[in-house]
């Protein structure tokens, strides 16, 4: 089927290393509902998979032809990831063109994401998966769709494929601005020991090993950061995976674990710095938290009567205790420190099957199911991390079921279409643990989608995409509502509608370029609220944009890539003129230079620029643009010993990771003050590492 990834045909220069990327679809019914032996997985090569060599990489995908169905989708492989200088695991997602990853608190908290004019907060309108397991958390204690990928061990990621827009049949909740699917390695041909040291107390050690059908890794890091209140981060991650069978019939089982404990500095008011305060200071030294994530994942792929069946099942144990203070002392007696907690077990999975081939077309069905057993989610007022007052406290059982039917048809050698119809159902039972009251609600939504591809020449393709998607809302809002304020309950779903026109072309043997024009509406925008550190539903939104990408490999050892994105984002209230969307970045630019296989040397340089954006609806207050440069250089002392150095924020840019505009009140102030609140980017720092293969 076409709802996978594959780049248009690219001529390559003497590929040296080949990585096999398996097209990952959706995953099996919850572990409770499916017998695992016959149906396990979503990431494997099907019988009609094709293999194409691309810039030294083997890309494999199940498809009617050997191209994608949108100019806004693609794949990034481990070779590119390994030579990309990053300061945090979340920045791996910046390989998605136009995506910016920042942080507005400590490194144990989920990142802040920006894509297609969305301040995605922590992931509300971008779906993220690893080996088919969802990372987004519904009805979360800090924000809807909360996406924390700090558990990832970067060296264990084999590939990442991305799709932008709500056009893809197998993608459901949160897949509006985009989808990122990470895939872990299944094998290693050596063992690896890696140690890294850096400024501000940075330490990291990694040991990994594997064989033809297994891999395992243990990762530990510490980091204090440049903050006046040391971060004292301690993070431990482990990963193990065992694969059996072959590319046609096989299975894999994997386990992941992650724990993190940290102290954080939340955003500061600009007036504090203007009065002489340090940009890296904190107004509440209790900010920070602890989190964990453990998972068991079973995947399988099977040839059933000559047609591919992919399935998976997973169970995840997740928890977060987060302490924050965004407004300081609006409560002049107790202060504004708060505690947000979330404890849950997530189980589920999916299955997809190409069940019918008819002439030049085929039919695929996909089913996915997920259950969140949220034992404790809420908000408390605290002092010195001790609970003073329980403000909100619930337990929630939330279950979703999705069904997708997809039809691909090859009208001619040049023209292919894909129709998809997706049906989603969500049921939530909510118990207020403070009052004992219970409530429940369910709803369903149907999302039609259409994609078309036309081959203009052997090297140029044009694409048209149109479809509907959604993000779910917090179950406490749509099931319980806010009866005290006489507000109506929220809708279960916030629908999106979008369109995309794009072109991809292999301009020369060395040069590939793509361009897309897109449009996206969302019936209810989520806006950050400073006084409780969460988001609330706002008016309908509309976004228009253009994106361009260039990939150039002038020699065997040099790769240059660049992405440019422009967005116009507006709120569309029922009455009155359109308004700016606070936090919607209007311009993103990135430039990468990669040197590889240059004798004993390799290097990477990455420039990223995100432009100014509105801080309020009338655009009277705006955040400044920020440009950062990271660099990396490595040297192979021997074939097994490598030394490398990362230069983070090479130009020592003094900018902000995030900027908000809201009211706060510092101690000693007589009344609340509306002000810019920011979290600074970290200053220039050097990190060195040694990697030993054995």
* Residue 1 and residue 308 in contact, taking contact as beta carbons nearer than 8 Å: no
- Predicted confidence at residue 59, as pLDDT, reads 31
Average pLDDT estimate for 65-86: 79
Per-residue model confidence (pLDDT) at position 77: 82
pLDDT of 2 > 90? The answer is no
Segment among 79-88, 596-605, 677-686 with least mean pLDDT: 79-88
| 424-445 per-position pLDDT tens digit | 999 999 999 999 999 999 999 9
Residue 273 has pLDDT above 50, yes or no: yes
**Could you give the CA distance from residue 626 to residue 510 in angstroms, rounded to a whole number?**
31
Under DSSP, the state recorded for 36 is T
Distance of CA 663 to CAs 245, 339, 505, Å? 59, 20, 49
For residue 588 the two structure tokens come to 């993103």
| Distance, CA of 503 to CA of 520 (rounded, Å) | 18
- State the residue for tokens 């060395």: 510
Q: For residues 457 and 451, give the distance between their C-alpha atoms in angstroms, rounded to a whole number.
A: 19
Three-state SS for 27?
coil
Region of poorest pLDDT, from 54-58, 171-175, 336-340 = 54-58
pLDDT of residue 435: 93
Q: How much of the chain, in percent, has pLDDT values that exceed 70?
A: 87
Model pLDDT for residues 625-651, shown as the tens digit of each residue: 999 999 999 999 999 999 999 999 999
**Given a cut of 70, is residue 19 above it in pLDDT?**
no
Identify which of 317, 407, 403, 315 has the alpha carbon closest to the alpha carbon of residue 354: 407
Cβ atoms of 691 and 205 within 8 Å: the answer is no
Q: Judge if pTM exceeds 0.85.
A: yes
**Model confidence pLDDT, tens digit, residues 520-551:** 999 987 654 544 545 566 788 999 999 999 99
DSSP string, 398-419: EEEEEEEEEEEEE-SSSEEEEE
Of all residues in the chain, what percent carry a pLDDT higher than 90? Answer: 75
Q: What pLDDT was estimated at residue 39?
A: 26
Closest CA relative to residue 583, chosen from 534, 628, 617: 617
Separation in Å, CA 465 to CA 65, 329, 408, 638: 17, 49, 14, 49
CA distances (Å), origin 150, targets 81, 153, 345:
16, 8, 18
Which pLDDT score is estimated for 45?
27
Query: What are the residues whose beta carbons fall under 8 Å from the beta carbon of 610, sequence distance 6 or more?
Result: 100, 114, 585, 587, 588, 625, 626
Of 248, 112, 136, 95, the closest CA to residue 594 belongs to 95
* Nearest-angstrom CA–CA distance, 599 and 383: 58
**Class level of CATH domain 20-693:** mainly beta
Confidence of residue 33 (pLDDT cuts 50, 70, 90): very low
> What are the b/e assignments for 376-388, b being 16+ CB within 10 Å?
ebbbbbbeeeeeb
pLDDT in tens, 444-460: 999 999 999 999 999 99
The pLDDT tens digits of the residues spanning 661-679 come to 999 999 999 999 999 999 9
Residues 487-526, buried b or exposed e (16+ Cβ, 10 A)? eebbbbbbbbbbbbbbbbbbeeebebbbbbebbbbbbbbb
pLDDT of 694 over the 80 cut: yes
Tokens of 581: 């969307």
DSSP H helices, 532-622, are: none
Is residue 20 exposed (0-12), middle (13-18) or buried (19+ Cβ within 10 Å)?
Answer: middle
Query: pLDDT tens for residues 300-315?
Result: 999 998 899 999 999 9
DSSP assigned state of 166: S
pLDDT band at residue 576, thresholds of 50, 70 and 90?
confident
Listed in sequence order, the residues at least 6 apart from 5 whose beta carbon sits closer than 8 Å to its beta carbon are 23, 61, 68, 73, 74, 75, 161, 162, 163
Task: Please give the structure tokens belonging to residue 237.
Answer: 């991650």
CA–CA separation, 345 and 33 (whole Å): 16
SS3 annotation, 439-483: EEEEEEEEEEEEEEEEEEECCEEEEEEEEEEEEECCHHHHHHCCH
pLDDT band at 89 (very low <50, low <70, confident <90, very high): confident
CA distance 608 to 563: 9
CA 229 from chain center: how many Å? 29
**Mean pLDDT to the nearest integer, 357-377:** 94
The predicted structure's pLDDT at residue 387: 95
Question: Distance of alpha carbon 201 from its chain centroid, rounded?
Answer: 27
Helix and strand numbers (H, E) in the chain are: 3, 41
Residue 506 has pLDDT above 60, yes or no: yes
Q: Do 261 and 108 meet the contact criterion of CB atoms below 8 Å apart?
A: yes
C-beta separation of 526 from 536 below 8 A: yes
State both tokens at 81. 């990831």
CB 396 within 8 A of CB 416: no
> Strand, coil or helix: what is 81?
helix
CA 135 to the chain's CA centroid:
8
Position 526 scores a pLDDT of 63
pLDDT band at 67 (very low <50, low <70, confident <90, very high): low
Q: Pick the closest to residue 663 from 524, 570, 532, 571 (CA basis).
A: 532
Summary mean pLDDT of the chain: 86
User: Mapping DSSP to helix (H, G, I), strand (E, B) and coil, where does residue 71 land?
Assistant: coil
Listed in sequence order, the residues at least 6 apart from 11 whose beta carbon sits closer than 8 Å to its beta carbon are: 506, 509
Instruction: Quote the pLDDT of residue 484.
Output: 44
What DSSP state is assigned to residue 92?
G
Model confidence band, residue 348 (pLDDT cutoffs 50, 70, 90): very high
Taking 80 as the threshold, does the pLDDT of residue 58 lie above it? no
d(CA 150, CA 204): 14
Instruction: Calculate the dihedral angle through the C-alpha atoms of 135, 139, 145, 151, rounding to the nearest 10 degrees.
Output: -30
| Structure tokens given for 226 | 């440049």
How far apart are the two ends of the chain, measured CA to CA in Å? Answer: 40
| pLDDT at 16 > cutoff 60 | no
For 487-504, the pLDDT digits (tens) are 457 889 999 999 999 999
Contact, 626 vs 610, CB < 8 A?
yes
Can you tell me the mean pLDDT for 397-418? Answer: 96
List the beta bridge partners of residue 322.
Answer: 289, 340
Spatial separation of the C-alpha atoms in residues 376 and 394, rounded to whole Å: 6
**Average pLDDT of 93-107?**
88
Task: Indicate if the pLDDT at residue 81 is higher than 90.
Answer: no
Going by C-alpha positions, the residue among 139, 82, 84, 136 that lies closest to residue 111 is 136
What pLDDT was estimated at residue 537?
66
At 107, the pLDDT band (50, 70, 90 cuts) reads confident
Query: Tokens at residue 466, please?
Result: 């149109």
Q: Report yes or no: 125 and 471 within 8 Å, Cβ to Cβ.
A: yes
Identify whether the C-beta of residue 478 lies closer than 8 Å to the C-beta of residue 494: no
Token pair 């440009």 in the structure block, residue:
627
Sign of torsion over alpha carbons 655, 658, 662, 668? negative
Q: Give 572's DSSP letter.
A: E
């Amino acid at each position: 089927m076409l709802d996978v990834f594959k780049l248009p045909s690219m001529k390559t220069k003497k590929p040296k290393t080949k990585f096999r990327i398996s097209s990952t679809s959706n995953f099996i019914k919850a572990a409770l509902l499916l017998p695992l032996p016959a149906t396990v997985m979503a990431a494997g090569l099907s019988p009609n998979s094709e293999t194409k060599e691309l810039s030294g990489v083997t890309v494999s995908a199940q498809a009617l032809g050997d191209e994608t169905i949108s100019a806004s989708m693609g794949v990034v492989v481990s070779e590119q990831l390994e030579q990309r200088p990053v300061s945090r695991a979340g920045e791996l997602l910046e390989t998605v063109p136009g995506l910016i990853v920042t942080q507005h608190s400590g490194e144990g908290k989920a990142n802040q994401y920006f894509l297609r004019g969305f301040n995605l907060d922590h992931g509300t309108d971008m779906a993220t998966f690893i080996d088919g397991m969802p990372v987004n958390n519904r009805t979360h204690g800090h924000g809807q769709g909360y996406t924390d990928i700090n558990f990832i061990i970067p060296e264990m990621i084999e590939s990442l494929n991305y799709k932008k827009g709500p056009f893809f049949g197998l993608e459901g909740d949160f897949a509006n601005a985009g989808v990122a699917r990470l895939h872990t390695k299944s094998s290693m041909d050596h063992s690896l020991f890696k140690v890294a040291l850096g400024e501000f107390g940075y330490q990291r050690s990694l040991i990994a090993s594997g064989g033809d059908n297994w891999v395992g890794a243990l990762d530990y890091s510490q980091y204090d950061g440049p903050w006046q209140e040391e971060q004292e981060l301690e993070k431990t991650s482990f990963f193990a995976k065992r694969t059996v069978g072959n590319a046609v019939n096989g299975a894999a089982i994997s386990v992941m674990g992650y724990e993190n404990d940290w102290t954080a500095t939340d955003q500061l008011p600009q007036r504090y710095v203007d009065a002489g305060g340090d940009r890296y200071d904190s107004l509440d030294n209790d900010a920070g938290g602890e989190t964990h994530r453990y998972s068991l994942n079973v995947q399988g792929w099977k040839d059933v009567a000559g047609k591919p069946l992919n399935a998976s099942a997973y169970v995840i144990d997740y928890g977060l205790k987060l302490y924050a203070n965004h407004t300081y002392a609006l409560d002049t007696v107790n202060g504004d420190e708060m505690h947000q907690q979330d404890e849950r077990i997530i189980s589920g999975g999916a299955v997809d099957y190409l069940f019918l081939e008819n002439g030049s077309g085929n039919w695929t069905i996909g089913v996915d199911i997920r259950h969140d057993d949220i034992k404790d989610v809420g908000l408390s007022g605290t002092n010195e991390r001790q609970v003073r007052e329980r403000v909100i406290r619930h337990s929630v059982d939330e279950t979703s079921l999705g069904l997708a039917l997809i039809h691909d048809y090859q009208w001619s050698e040049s023209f292919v279409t894909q129709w998809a119809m997706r049906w989603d159902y969500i049921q939530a039972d909510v118990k207020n643990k403070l009052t004992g009251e219970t409530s429940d609600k369910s709803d369903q939504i149907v999302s039609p989608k259409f994609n078309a591809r036309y081959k203009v020449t052997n090297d140029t393709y044009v694409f048209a995409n149109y479809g509907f998607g959604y993000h779910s809302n917090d179950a406490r809002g749509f099931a319980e509502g806010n009866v005290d304020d006489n507000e109506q309950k929220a809708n279960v779903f916030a629908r999106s509608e979008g369109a995309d026109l794009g072109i991809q072309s292999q301009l020369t043997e060395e040069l590939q370029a793509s361009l897309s024009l897109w449009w996206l509406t969302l019936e209810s925008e989520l806006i950050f609220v400073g006084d409780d550190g969460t988001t609330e539903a706002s008016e309908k939104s509309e976004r228009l944009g253009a994106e361009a990408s260039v990939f150039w490999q002038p020699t065997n050892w040099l790769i240059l890539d660049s992405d440019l994105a422009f967005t116009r984002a507006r709120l569309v209230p029922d009455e009155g003129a359109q308004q700016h969307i606070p936090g919607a970045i209007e311009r993103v630019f990135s430039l990468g230079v990669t040197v590889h296989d240059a004798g004993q040397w390799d290097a990477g340089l990455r420039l990223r620029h995100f432009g100014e954006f509105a801080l309020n609806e009338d655009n009277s207050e705006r955040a400044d643009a920020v440009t950062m440069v990271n660099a990396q250089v490595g040297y192979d002392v021997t074939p097994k010993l490598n030394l490398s150095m990362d230069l983070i924020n090479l130009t020592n840019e003094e900018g902000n990771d995030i900027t908000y505009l809201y009211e706060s009140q510092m101690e000693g102030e007589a009344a609340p003050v509306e002000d810019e609140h920011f979290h600074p980017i970290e200053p220039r720092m050097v990190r060195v590492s040694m990697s030993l293969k054995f």
